[in-house]
C-alpha cells in the first residue's frame, strides 16, 4: 500500500496539529475521528460530516434511488417487517412512529 506524502504533523503550544488531505489544512487533532487502530483519520470531522450528509441524502428514500437493487431490497425488508408500502394515507415513517409509541412509549 502506497502512502501519499502529506506535510508533517506538528505540536505547538501543547496542541498536536494534524493535516487534512481533503481541505489541505492543519487542524487540532481533536478535529479528527480515530481509526480502528487508534490512529487519526486523514480527513477532518467537518469534511467527513459533509461527506456523510451528502451520502445520506443520495440514499434517503426508495423513490429517489437510482439503484433498483437497493430499492427492491429496502421494499422487501420493510414488507417482511410488516410495513404497508405505497399508501399516502399511512406512510412508513408514521407506521414506525406508532410502533415505537406502542412498544416504548415514544421517541426520546
Model confidence pLDDT, tens digit, residues 67-97: 788 888 989 999 999 999 988 899 998 999 9
Q: Higher pLDDT residue, 108 or 74? A: 74
Please give the mean pLDDT across all residues of the chain: 87
Cα–Cα distance list, 70 to 16, 22, 26, 88, 92 (Å): 42, 29, 38, 21, 17
Band (pLDDT 50/70/90 cuts) for residue 23 is very high
Give kind and range of the element (H or E) at residue 97.
Answer: helix 92-104
Domain ranges of the chain: 10-53, 62-104
For the four alpha carbons of 51, 57, 62 and 64, in that order, the dihedral sign comes to: negative
Cell numbers given for 57: 441524502
CATH 3.30.60 is held by the domain 10-53: yes
Band (pLDDT 50/70/90 cuts) for residue 1 is very low
User: What pLDDT is stored for residue 61 in this prediction?
Assistant: 63
pTM, two decimals, is 0.52
Band (pLDDT 50/70/90 cuts) for residue 20 is very high
Amino acid at each position: 500500500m502506497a502512502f501519499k506524502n502529506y506535510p508533517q504533523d506538528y505540536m505547538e503550544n501543547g496542541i498536536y496539529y494534524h493535516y487534512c488531505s481533503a481541505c489541505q489544512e492543519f487542524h487540532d487533532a481533536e478535529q479528527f475521528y480515530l481509526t480502528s487502530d487508534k490512529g487519526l483519520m486523514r480527513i477532518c470531522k467537518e469534511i467527513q460530516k459533509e461527506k456523510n450528509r451528502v451520502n445520506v441524502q443520495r440514499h434517503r428514500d426508495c423513490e429517489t434511488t437510482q439503484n433498483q437493487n437497493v430499492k427492491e431490497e429496502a421494499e422487501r425488508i420493510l414488507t417482511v417487517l410488516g410495513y404497508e408500502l405505497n399508501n399516502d394515507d399511512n406512510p412508513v415513517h408514521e407506521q414506525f412512529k406508532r410502533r415505537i409509541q406502542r412498544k416504548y412509549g415514544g421517541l426520546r
